[in-house]
Amino acid sequence: MEKILVAVAGASGKMGREVVKAVSHEKDMAVSAAIDASHSGQDAGSLAGIGSLGISITPFLESAILSKKTDVIVDFTRYEAALTHLEIGLKHKIPCVIGTTGFREEDYKKIQEWCEKFETPALIAPNFAIGAVLLMKFAKEAAKYYRSSEIIELHHDKKLDAPSGTALRTASLMKEARAEFENHPSEEKISGVRGGEVNGIRIHSVRLPGFVAHEEVIFGGEGEVLTLRHDSLSRESFMPGVLIAVRKVRELKGLVVGLENIIES
Find the catalytic residue in 21, 39, 155, 214: 155
Closest CA to 169 of 154, 151, 149: 151
Q: Which distant-in-sequence residues (6+ apart) come within 8 Å of 235 by Cβ?
A: 14, 15, 18, 212
Closest CA to 6 of 97, 93, 112, 114: 97
Question: Is 68 in the active site?
Answer: no
- Dmax over CA atoms of the chain, in Å, equals 63
Find the catalytic residue in 3, 68, 159, 175: 159
Closest CA to 73 of 3, 13, 18, 8: 8
Question: Is 155 in the active site?
Answer: yes
Using a CB cutoff of 8 Å and minimum separation of 24, what contacts does 52-55 make?
53/20, 53/24, 55/31
Active site residues: 155, 159
